[in-house]
Structure 1
Amino acid sequence: MGRTNQKNSNAVSPEKCIAANALVFVVGLCLRLWNIADIRFAPFFSMRLGDSLRYREWALEISGGDWLGSEVFYQAPLYPYLLAVLYSLFGSERIVILLLQAILGAVSCALICDATIRLHSRKAGITAGLALACYAPSIFFDGLIQKTATDQILLCAVINLVVRWQQKTRLQTCLLLGLAAGLLILSRENALVFPIVIVVGMFVTKRPLYHEFIRSALVFVVGLAAVLLPVAVRNYSVGGEFHLTTSQFGPNFFIGNNLHANGTYQPLLEGGGNAQAERRDATMLAEKALGKSLTPGEVSHYWSERTLKEIQSDPVRWLNLMCRKLAYFCNRVEVTDTEDIYSYSEYSAPLRLLNPIANFGTLGPLAVLGLLLSRRNWRELSVLVGMLLAYTASVLLFYVFGRYRFPVVPILCVFAGMGIADGIRIVSLRFRGSASATEHSSSVTRAELVPILFIAAGAFLFCNWPFLNAEHMKSISQYNMAVEFDRSGRNRLAIDFYLRALELVPGDANAHANLASVLARTGRLEGAAHHYREAIHADVPSPGAHFALANVYAQMGMPVEAAENYRKAILDLPDLVPAHLNLGVALLQQGRADAAVDALERAASLAPDYPAAHLNLAHALADIQRFEDAKVHYQTVLELDPGNSLAETCLRRVTDAIQKHDSKK
């Protein structure tokens, strides 16, 4: 089982190593270019959603001259700054960025191949590199305007440099490792755990040669500081506080661990699902709770303290939540935030072909197998194992997204490559006979192999257990795309994607309500009414659906149904002025002026500066011959809206009516 002697005796020549890396690079690049060629024709290709939109806006601000900025970073800054450089050089066309990311992704695969060859063997290296090259989410993320592409290349560089340093201690390698780790932290904040693991790994690896450890660690820290300190100084200069990277720890900690957390992202306030809204809402809520203005650090501290109190109030609930997050983290399904691999697979042949196999449900168990088969080489693998465990813990500390867990994938590919290579070797030795197997000290006995296979099978079952639903993830993305189509006025596509989302999750109240809104705007009132009713009867009804349905009924000339739903809307939202106003109008249309007066008086009292409320109230009062009161409200309309011809005409009529009434007396 020991691999050290075998590795040394089976050293790979530089030529063969370069050839293996080149093979993996070509395969990785071809698959990524194929994906880009396919998704170009997707209707959402030019769309910017969530963080992608914010990165573009931020990069355009930077490339426009605002290189320093004016606030403490809330999001990791590396990717937007890289985009800004690329925008300055090549323009902001998405296709150019994706082509460059495809190259970086292919280089990442070659780096993993090289690292695994150095750790294990040429076969394991090629297998590990191809595993990353063909890993469907890697191809998917390289085709998005997302920082996952920089996460991948930087982490693969860190892994490669760690392995090189373990094999031959060089201060130059330590410096490069520090620089790469610092850049990774500026791309993925929770990568802050990696330097700790690396320094501990240096200590373990070089014990008892402490002088080598000290030199290596110092040079590594110098490289790290060379990247991170300028950012910390910049944050201090613009915000007056020391933040090594960003100030979002507290809000994210709360989102992932509060009393209502479910293991994935939930905005602090409804509709606040992007970084700008999250920062605004976190600051507003914290300042409201404490009754004073707060700095970014104080905002983060408020949410951290609040989260710890909620955890302490019910630790059993929190432990259950952590178990759920671990199940989500290890599951084959990619947890979606804005865009999902399943929707893109409809347009991308490589994703469609590879995702059913090359997913986390396959990679995770193979990595477990590789670790178990290589367990006797724990010293060589200790740093990578430590990085894997530390990063996993850092994600579970917050909440799970597919792109948040992705940085463990390159590490798992190393272990999976080793596991596949060792597994093939063991099967080959067994096939050739037990005597041959006994001659190889690196082989495993049958007694050892059975529990290893049992554990790997358990890992496969756990990773593929239906804790998550891919259809639900796809519906989130379809809904987000529909909202963007709706916002940009592409009604046909908005309707199509809302319907797709509802096919996947029929009870989505927001999708029904938004679809109904598009249908109503395009004159399809029957369909709009149907979907508003569906939104009302959903398990979690859409707020405001009764009011919207009532408006549709009013447009359809159904005042009785409209009035009924306006009343229901008022029960949900008692101070909704348009509901009171429209209820009064609907009652007037039914000839029920007495009942209309009550609704319209409520509207006028809630919005005394709203001319329409006074105008309709005046009409209702005139209908029941309360001319003096009607005159007062017509005059109020003219005070609020001078020159209102309808109010002037009606005021003359009620004035004449009052005079006639007085003359009869």
Structure 2
Amino acid sequence: MKPAAEASSLSEPMNSSPSVSPSSSLSPSHFSSHSPPPPDSVERSWIVAIALAAFALRFLNLLAIRENDPFFWYPSVDPLFYHQWAMRIAGGDWLGEGVFLQGPLYPYLLGALYGVTGPDLFIPRVLNALAGALAPVLVWWVARRLFDRRVALLAAAMVAVYAMFVFYGGSLLIVNLLLPLTMIVLWSTLGAAERATPGAWLVAGLAIGMAALARPTLLLYGPFVLAWLFWVLRGRCGRARRGFLALWLGAGLVLAIAPSTLRNAWVAGDPVLISASGGMNFFNGNNPDATGTHTVPSLFDRSTADHPDEQNAMYRTYAEKQLGRPLTASETSNYWLGQAVDYIRSHPADALRLMVRKFLLFFNANEVWNNRSFELTRQFSWVLGMPLLNFGVVGPLAILGLMVTARRWRELLPLYAMIGVYLGNAMLFFVLSRYRAPVVPILMIFAASALVWIFDAWPRRVGRLALAGVALAVLGLAIRIPIFPPNLSMAYYNLGNKYQSLGRHDEAVTQYRNSLSINGDYISAHNNLALSLEKGSHPRGEALAAWARVKAMGDRRGMARYVERATRHLRDLAEQ
């Protein structure tokens, strides 16, 4: 290893081979004494500049959407759910009612913030921007433990200018917390393996537990870390010592999640570890109507299932009706888990095809949305209109990076495991862009390693570079296959609904017409278009024609409520 003072140029390789880390040993004991050198002034300047650029992009985006985006001050669906939950906490209702049905960490932090600042929807987003500036620093810190500083700085820069991270920073969503938390888990795990002290493993357990309070499926990372502890320290500690350190890891995990478990037992008499929505989500992702992403099963009225509370109530009511008795939250979750398992057992071929589809969706360039569409939100922010980095670039490079670093798999196991946790979550449940987002920084580390490998291989390895170029081209085309094209009809419909709820009916009309230009059979869009035409400044004849279309569609489909509503409005308009 060269001393830090000698490594003054960022273009100078720190290793003799582009696929070998600063510590070239493949032994698990490499963590014992090969921590990276402190960053020199050049490297520190670069990471500060990257963090400042990340904050600037996110803050400028906030200023733009604050003025233009109707969802900014009037959130919907999940952001509204978290906002309302946080408002109750800020109002003194710290325990709430029933078992947690979502990870509680984000709403409790948001509620604590509201308790200090009031329910100002701008301040949490400023904190999102600060978290977004911290994320590249954490990625840099993790990457430089395993690669050289060029990889670390490139990965950090990718995080700073990634379009979806800037986009999500404008919303009240858990993803903004999970991005830094995921990297903190990796940082603490790698640090614990290096130091091998009780305190370090306690911190690692606390980090995993806190991340699980935001996304409960991250508990799956715990068993890996436990097994990895016994493996990575086997050359440095005896079995008894490793068992002692494992107890500290477990203690940290328990300390983090115990308040949630005790609260569920105290409030609801149902000692659920964190939340009790796993069964419903598992059924959502594994049923005859499942598409690989989030869709409400046809068992339910999809038009009344926008809010998470409404969805949870639907699932519970249906399960209680089927079983003929009241159910606890965990019993409801277990019922739907059983329904999904029954479907998989009775339709193994369909279930396998669905799992393959989820795998492909996870690595697809399309950003699968269910709250807000990135494509539509771009019209409200000049920042999002910039040519920022996207998964279509990161994905192929990351896969190439995984290939060229494969011989270092022992050192990179913690990164593989975290990718596996997020990929496994997607394949078990369903794929959404915001569920994939927290693992993208790890993929960026591999993408950066691919770029450094290409740089170092030129011009000595022209043959390998040619193969890499072909691989990148094939991967770039493959991940752009439209497996699940963006449902912009629904996105325009949601935007129209927001304008309608704000009394901005003429703007709502434009969005409903955009929706219907894509899907002309969408009766709910026809219904809401007719309503906004009636209440806006358009001629009465347009509203009459729109309601007549709704009535005709309702008659053809046997949808009595649409027929009744259209008939009533047609009568009222005729009497005017």
AA in 1 matched with 2:334: H
> What is the match of residue 508 of structure 2?
494
**Map 1:216-231 → 2, pairs under 5 A:** 216-231=245-260
Matched-pair contact (CA < 8 Å) for 2:505–2:535: no
1:122 to 141, 149, 154: 149
Of 19, 31, 45, 2:45 maps to: 19
Q: Is the 8 A contact 1:155 1:410 kept in 2?
A: no
Structure 2: stretches of 5+ with no match in the other structure: 1-16, 26-33
Query: How much does 1:456 deviate?
Result: 4.0
Q: Describe the shift of the 1:475–1:213 C-alpha distance in structure 2 as closer, same or farther (beyond 3 A).
A: farther
Alpha-carbon contact 1:49-1:339 (below 8 Å) kept: no
**CA–CA distance in 1 between the matches of 2:373 and 2:65?**
13
Matched, 1:409 2:436: no
Residue type matched to 2:253 in 1?
Answer: L
Is 1:467 matched with 2:483? yes
Seen in structure 2, the aligned counterparts of structure 1 residues 500 and 213 have a Cα distance that, compared at 3 Å, is: farther
- State the SS of the aligned residue for 1:350: coil
Distance in 1 (CA, whole Å) between partners of 2:534 and 2:245 is 67
Instruction: Give the match for residue 426 of structure 1.
Output: 457
Assess, with a 3 A threshold, how the Cα gap between structure 1 residues 527 and 112 changes in structure 2: closer, same or farther. same
Q: Corresponding residue for 1:316?
A: 349
Q: Report the Cα offset of residue 240 of structure 1.
A: 1.4
- For residue 147 of structure 1, report the CA deviation from its aligned partner: 1.1
What is the CA distance between 1:417 and its match in structure 2? 1.7
From the superposition, tell whether residues 542 and 80 of structure 1 become closer, same or farther in structure 2 (CA, over 3 Å): farther
Within 5 Å, give how 1:371-390 maps onto structure 2.
371-390=402-421
Alignment of 1:148-159 (within 5 A): 148-159=175-186
Q: Please say if 1:243 is aligned against 2:257.
A: no
* Pair 451,168 (structure 1): closer, same or farther in 2 beyond 3 Å: farther
Q: Identify the residue that residue 359 of structure 1 maps to in structure 2.
A: 390
| Aligned counterpart, 1:531 | 546
Counterparts of 1:374 and 1:266, CA distance in 2 = 37
- So what's the TM-score if we normalise by structure 2? 0.87
Question: Unaligned stretches of 5+ in structure 1?
Answer: 438-444, 559-665
Shift of 1:479: 1.7
Contact residue 454 and residue 465 of structure 2 kept, 8 A: no
1:516-560 CA-to-partner distances (Å, cap 9, x unmatched) read 12223447443234434555559x9693444444345434549xx
Question: Which range is displaced more, 240-249 or 344-353?
Answer: 344-353
Q: Distance in 2 between matches of 1:136 and 1:87?
A: 28
8 Å Cα contact 2:319-2:332 kept in structure 1: yes
Q: Is it true that 1:40 corresponds to 2:66 in the alignment? A: yes
1:395 CA drift (Å): 1.8
Alignment-derived partner of residue 511 in structure 1: 525
Q: Which amino acid aligns with 1:274?
A: H
Native 8 Å contact 2:89 2:108 kept in 1:
yes
Q: Which amino acid aligns with 1:554?
A: R
Structure 2 residue identity aligned to 1:158: V
Q: Which residue of 2 aligns with 1:177?
A: 204
Question: Cα distance 1:143–1:221, how it changes in 2: closer, same or farther (>3 A)?
Answer: same
Alignment of 1:523-602 (within 5 A): 524-532=539-547, 536=552, 543=559, 544-555=561-572, 557=574
Aligned to 1:108: 135
Alpha-carbon distance in structure 1 between the residues aligned to 2:190 and 2:46: 17
Which whole-Å CA distance do the structure 2 matches of 1:402 and 1:192 have between them? 20
Q: What letter is aligned with 1:550?
A: T
Q: Could you tell me which of 273, 291, 294 is aligned with 1:265?
A: 294
CA distance in 1, matches of 2:199, 2:224: 19
Greater Rg, structure 1 or structure 2? 1
Q: CA deviation at 1:351?
A: 1.6
Residue 253 (str. 1) matches residue 292 (str. 2): no
For CA contacts below 8 A with separation 6 or more, give which structure has more relative contact order.
2
Q: How far did 1:127 drift? A: 0.5
Any conservation in 1 of the 2:293–2:430 contact (CA below 8 Å)? Answer: yes
Letter in 2 for 1:384: L
- Please, which of 58, 82, 87 is the counterpart of residue 114 of structure 2? 87
CA distance in 2, matches of 1:390, 1:556: 57
Query: Using the alignment, how far apart are the partners of 2:558 and 2:189 within structure 1?
Result: 52
Q: Describe the superposition over 1:108-131 as per-residue Cα deviations: whole angstroms up to 9, x where unpaired.
A: 111001211221111111100011
**Aligned-pair distance for 1:423?**
1.7
The answer as to whether partners of 1:203 and 1:210 remain within 8 angstroms in 2 is: no
Q: Distance in 2 between matches of 1:364 and 1:117?
A: 21
**Using a 3 Å threshold, how does the CA distance of structure 1 residues 516 and 506 change in structure 2: closer, same or farther?**
same
What is the SS of the residue equivalent to 1:349? coil
Structure 1 residues 460 and 214, CA gap change in structure 2 (3 angstroms): farther
- The code of the aligned residue for 1:75 comes to Q
Question: Is 1:296 the counterpart of 2:324 in the alignment?
Answer: no
Give the one of 398, 403, 422 matched to 1:391: 422
Alpha carbon RMSD of aligned pairs, Å?
2.6
Amino acid at match of 2:332: V
**Counterpart residue type for residue 442 of structure 2:** I
C-alpha contact 2:69 2:380 (8 A) present in aligned 1? no
